[in-house]
Structures are given as C-alpha cells and as structure tokens.
Structure 1
C-alpha cells in the first residue's frame, strides 16, 4: 500500500476521501475534530502545489438530496481552518462537479456535497454502485483515502474509485491507523491487555475470539459483562444482557483458559432501579445483584482489580466504557480505567470507539495515549482480524 508521501503529487489534482461526518446543530458544527485530523494531509498536498477535491458523507440521507445534510457548514469550517476558500459543489455529483474540478488551479480547494446524496455511493453490489466510482476517479489525477471511519464500508468512494484512479494512496491519518493497529500489534510488548466494554457481547464476539491466545489478559466491563455473569450462573436482575449469547460467553471463557489468556470479570457493581437515576443506590457483589435493580457501573473492588492488571501492562487496546459514564454517579469505573492507562509512561496504549474516545476527552487525557483511533466500526473490524475494504482496495490498485 502506498502513502501520500511516496507519490509525486506536485501540481496534481487530488481527490481526497475524508471522514467529515461531524455533528451539526442548527447549522453549526459542535465538534470539528474529524476535520482537524485530516488537515495535515490536505495541507501537505497544498504545500506541494496540488489542487484539492474533498469528498465525504454526512448522516444518512439514503440517496436523496436532504438540505439539512448538506456539507455547506463543513466546507465553510474547512476553509476557516485551512485559511483559504473552500467552494461547495452543491447537490448530486454530475456535470457541475466535473466542470469545477476541471477548472481548479494549483492551491485551490473544492468540496463535493454529501456523497450519500447519490444512491450509488452506498450500493450493496458493484452493479448497484454502477459507474459512480469511475466518475469520481475521473475528476482527479490522484486518489487519496484518509477516511478510516469508513474504511470498513464497501462504498463506491472507498472501494471503486481505486479501481479507476490513475494513482491511489493513503493519507497520513490512514497511515497512522495502519501503523498502530496493524504493524504495532503484530509483535506487541507484554503483558498485552485488551479492555472491552460497552453494551453488547454480540458486537465484540469477533474481537474476543480473535484476541484469545494473542493477549495475556482480557478485561470485560460494561453491560456486556452481564452476559458472562449469566454464563457463570448468576442472576443479573433487570440489567441489560443477552441471554441468547450465554453459550457463546461460556465458549469464550473456556477458550481463554485453554489458550493462555486470563479473563477478568467484575466482582462487584454500582446499581440503581433505573438508568435515569442520578445516584447509585448501592454497591453489590456480582453474585448478589438485587432482582429489581440494574448494574450501571463496575464497583470499587473491581476497579482495584482492573487497575492492578493495567498497571503492569506494556500494550493495551481499549474499546468500550465500563458503565453508564454519561451520568457522573456511574462514570467512576470508566474514569478509573482511563486514568490508569493514561498514567503508563512506557506502554503502547491504543483507544478506539466513539464512547471510549469520549471518556478520554472528558478527562482531557487524549495527549497521554499513544494513539486514539478515528474509527468506530473500522476499529472493531480491524481488531477482529478482518482486512478492511479500504486497505484491500488500496493494495489492489497497485497491481
């Protein structure tokens, strides 16, 4: 796979696939981190005298032109951050985009409107996607993918454009994801610890099965731990759980033991009668959860156990909070895990997933982690051991 600094882009026209799917309220961007993350690659191209065509999606317009999901505010903010005008090509991509791309001069930047206004972008098959990828590729001399957030999507802008592009490569953002998630984890320093949280075992089964035998320790928290408690024969009261995955949880526990990975489950919890509660009603042991309550955070004894495992680690991958961290009373577990990992000076620490990222930023500790992934689904699929469609497409375009 080629990266942008390995390609001659001087004076060339570049089509950038970026992940600018940012939150917008009343026409105002409330978090521009995804835009800022792509700026180094875009600025690098501009410094080389290239002209830039940006393409991205916003929300789920489902193939229709939805004015509220136009990238207009994103183009404006990108222009502010770059210190130059970024003209928006409104509506679906067609003749106007072709003309504006053809007229681009070195140092100029335009942004195509929401890719998902075009139904072909999210077509499930090559036939449904049609020639949309070919059209996009025709706009530029070089295609650069710098959008890890959609690297797991078989969208036209991700998998079809590389087939038709004259030259294709990855940007600096995608390069960092590839280096940290791929290369750095091939031969990790040990102990190697995976921290897995969040609501559902179902979304993490692939990861857990892939990492068994590769990691020394697996820490499981959040509501997904409740399914493992059921597998141990414990009652979980009104807590969120997936009873249909009890056998899968039993299988993971058995495999962990036989493959040399130690599974760490909560031994106590903070609980309440409703997820809307502002205060915990108490702390209970994992085998004594009140029948009318639900567990919303790991308890103090569990925090001590988990932190002890983390403090001796040399490599940590963390995805998923330990509880309902959005409520202060149930954020203690997530914050303790975050603080413990951030405090490791000589360990490789990797974070991924929106909720996990939110915990890190809430504590303002993002500069204390080795790497924070920009992907959610892409991060999960990478940890499952899958080859992401974006990486596959970029590798194949070199053949």
Structure 2
C-alpha cells in the first residue's frame, strides 16, 4: 500500500530551495547550546540534503518570546553549534520577512545552509497566520517537515506553510517516527501491549480511554495505579492518589473489559514513609499497605507479572515510569521492565515505541535507550498521538 506521505529521500532536491522545519528548541547556557541532542538527531537528514545539492533553509523556534524580538532567544548559538557539527557555515538571517531574507536566499549555492531567525519573534507564527506563512513560502521551492515534536501545534511554519507549497515531504527523522508510530498503533503486529505510568489519571485520561480500545494488554504503574487500586477498594495508605477520579478509573476498567483488553495493576509494592533515596523500605502486598505507607514503586512480583504478560506481545508502546525512578531504589520495577522490553526488541525483533520526557529519562536510567526500536523525543505530540488525535503538522504533509 502506498504511503500517504512523500519522503524527502524520494524527491529531487538538487538546486532546489528547501525550507526545512526543524525543532531546534535546545537549552542555552550563557549563550551556548547546553544540550545538542536535538541538533544531532537531524544531522543525517541535513547532510543528505547538502550532499544532494539542495539549498537548505532551516526554520525553527526557540523558547517563548511571544511575538517579540528577545535577543537572548536568538537562534545564533544554535546555528553556531550546527555549523561546527555539519562542517560548513550556517549564517543567520535576522529579518526573515524583508529583503534581507530574499537576498540571502538568492545568493545561496547548491549545498549551502542558512538559518532564519527565531520564528516565534513573529506573532504570525503561533497565530498560524496565512500572510506570514506566504512570506516564508516565497523563499522556497520545497517544504521538508522534520519536527514531529511540533506537529501537534497548528502554527504557521507547521500547518499553513506546507499547505501552500508545491512540493511537501517528510524529513528523515520525522519519516522514521511516522513509520514507527504507524506500525505501533495503526497497523501493529499483535499481540499489542502498552505500558502507561506517571502520577495522575487526569493527565492521561484520553490516552487511557483510547488505548484500552486498541491494545490487547495494558500495564499500569506509577501514582495513577493507586487511583485504580483505591477504586477497587484497596487501602493505599499515604500514597499519591486522585480520590475524585475513582469513578473514572472504574469506567476505564469497564471499557477495557468490553474491548477485550487485559488490564494489569501492581499487586505488591515498594513502600516507604517518605520519598527519598535514603529511607527504609519494605515490600507490601495488596491489603498489607499501612496507613502511613507511601507506594513509591511496583514490587518485584508485579514487575515479574508485567514482564510475563508482555512476553507474548509483538508490539509494545510505553509512556510513563512504574515508580519514582528518580529516587533509587524506587527505580527497580521500571528498570526490570525496561530491560525486558529492550531485550525482546534487540533479540526477538519486537517493535517497541517509547515517548515522553519522564519515559526517556527512565529508559536512560535503565541503560536501554539504544535497544528500544523507536524513541520519540516529542512530548505533547506523542501524547496526542496516543490519544488518537489528529496532528495538524502531520495532516499538512499528507499527499493531496
């Protein structure tokens, strides 16, 4: 079946002015890039475009200047870091809606790279203003979307701009992510399992409601599991809980049952009197949680159960840790499950997709980031995808 998307490696870019939308919203420390992970992630795609003879015009946002020029949020440090990594100059065009931009682009040679100034210096960017998008469109022949983390935002450079370009393609990083996400939920190899953790049911309500209708098994962990346990009538002591969400939790359980989704809750716990790394802990089973106990991680039996039920799955989606992994030993269940999923991916070809900031940190803590099939750096966009929502920046890339 043909893909609904055109990919950048499938089009002719030699001599073409390619408007490349990236997410280079990286942290700056004293005017220098503090973490260049996002830059390195898109390097292969940029290098391929340059080698093909494209004229690469990079667009990104940085911070939240709210339509004003804020010198501390200039993309110049980002361009400097990119230049050092890619081994070629990356000049910055400060006036992206005026003659300076037109002249700079006109002076480009095949293989050149330039970066336009922070898109969010212009109010039209976040307003999805058509006139602002048209100004950008006049600078290019081809639009390349390579910022999955921005696709949930209907901003001018993400949604309006690609709709007015004659040629639109998904970049390498975004293309890889789209393919992985499609394989994970839209056309998964079954059985399909999911792991969802985190503190609150309320923040992932739509995710849970969507997943229980689509997956074969759903493992719950973190503070949100406490709300489900309380809804089932179990004592959870002094643990984090959303008491006002118990009816909602019960409704999710009913929906899971109606759709044949096996819902797995922890049945033993690592508990303590406080959240810290140097406190006394014990393992408590369901029904043995004391009034002053805090459930801070799933217990070893629960971790073993989760590993067992996921062992038959050919596709696994993960969002959220099983416990307070930032404070050892409350990372034990997350580590055990992460290592098991990573081993299945590495050794048995299981498709695993993980996303969300806490999830990525938890996988790194477990030392398995390199063995997960696809790690999405998109926070909000990944969650909205899990919710089954339409992403404006993805829809704008679809073939007409």
TM-score band by shorter chain is over 0.9
Q: Find the counterpart in structure 2 of residue 321 from structure 1.
A: 321
Alignment of 1:191-270 (within 5 A): 191-270=191-270
Indicate conservation of the 8 Å contact 2:273/2:293, yes or no: yes
The equivalent position to 2:25 in structure 1, one of 15, 21, 28, is: 21
Counterpart CA distance in 2 for 1:120 and 1:13 is: 22
Change (3 A) 1:97 1:246: farther
Tell me the TM-score normalised to structure 2 length: 0.92
Q: Find the counterpart in structure 1 of residue 374 from structure 2.
A: 371
1:70 aligns with 2:102: no
Indicate conservation of the 8 Å contact 1:93/1:113, yes or no: no
Alpha-carbon offset, residue 73 of structure 1 = 1.9
* Secondary structure of 1:180 counterpart: helix
1:167 aligns with 2:170: no
Bigger mean CA deviation after superposition, 107-116 or 277-286: 277-286
Indicate conservation of the 8 Å contact 1:220/1:266, yes or no: yes
Change (3 A) 1:202 1:91: farther
CA-to-aligned-CA distance 1:20-75 (integer Å, 9 cap, x gap): 12223233333222111111211111111111111111222222222322222211
Alpha-carbon offset, residue 304 of structure 1 = 1.6
RMSD: 2.0
Q: Find the counterpart in structure 2 of residue 358 from structure 1.
A: 361
Alpha-carbon offset, residue 301 of structure 1 = 1.9
Q: Find the counterpart in structure 1 of residue 111 from structure 2.
A: 107
Q: Find the counterpart in structure 2 of residue 190 from structure 1.
A: 190
* Secondary structure of 1:168 counterpart: strand
Counterpart CA distance in 1 for 2:267 and 2:380 is: 29
Indicate conservation of the 8 Å contact 2:130/2:160, yes or no: no
Alpha-carbon offset, residue 230 of structure 1 = 2.1
Counterpart CA distance in 1 for 2:275 and 2:119 is: 37
Counterpart CA distance in 1 for 2:52 and 2:256 is: 51
* Secondary structure of 1:246 counterpart: helix
Indicate conservation of the 8 Å contact 1:310/1:340, yes or no: no
The equivalent position to 2:102 in structure 1, one of 98, 106, 111, is: 98
Indicate conservation of the 8 Å contact 1:191/1:312, yes or no: yes
Indicate conservation of the 8 Å contact 1:65/1:91, yes or no: no
User: Gaps (5+ residues) in structure 2?
Assistant: none
Counterpart CA distance in 2 for 1:60 and 1:255 is: 39
Change (3 A) 1:236 1:121: farther
Counterpart CA distance in 2 for 1:59 and 1:235 is: 44
Counterpart CA distance in 2 for 1:240 and 1:104 is: 57
Counterpart CA distance in 2 for 1:239 and 1:68 is: 42
1:385 aligns with 2:388: yes
The equivalent position to 2:35 in structure 1, one of 31, 35, 38, is: 31
* Secondary structure of 1:256 counterpart: helix
CA-to-aligned-CA distance 1:237-293 (integer Å, 9 cap, x gap): 333222232222101111112211110011122233333454353332344433334
Bigger mean CA deviation after superposition, 373-382 or 63-72: 63-72
Q: Find the counterpart in structure 1 of residue 312 from structure 2.
A: 312
Q: Find the counterpart in structure 1 of residue 58 from structure 2.
A: 54
Indicate conservation of the 8 Å contact 2:31/2:77, yes or no: yes
Counterpart CA distance in 1 for 2:27 and 2:93 is: 20
CA-to-aligned-CA distance 1:157-216 (integer Å, 9 cap, x gap): 100101222321111111111111114533322321100011221232222222224211
Counterpart CA distance in 1 for 2:280 and 2:141 is: 59
Counterpart CA distance in 2 for 1:94 and 1:245 is: 53
| Equivalent residues, number | 393
Counterpart CA distance in 2 for 1:49 and 1:166 is: 19
Indicate conservation of the 8 Å contact 1:149/1:378, yes or no: yes
Alpha-carbon offset, residue 317 of structure 1 = 0.7
Indicate conservation of the 8 Å contact 2:277/2:328, yes or no: no
Tell me the TM-score normalised to structure 1 length: 0.92
Bigger mean CA deviation after superposition, 216-225 or 60-69: 60-69
Change (3 A) 1:155 1:286: farther
Bigger mean CA deviation after superposition, 161-170 or 283-292: 283-292
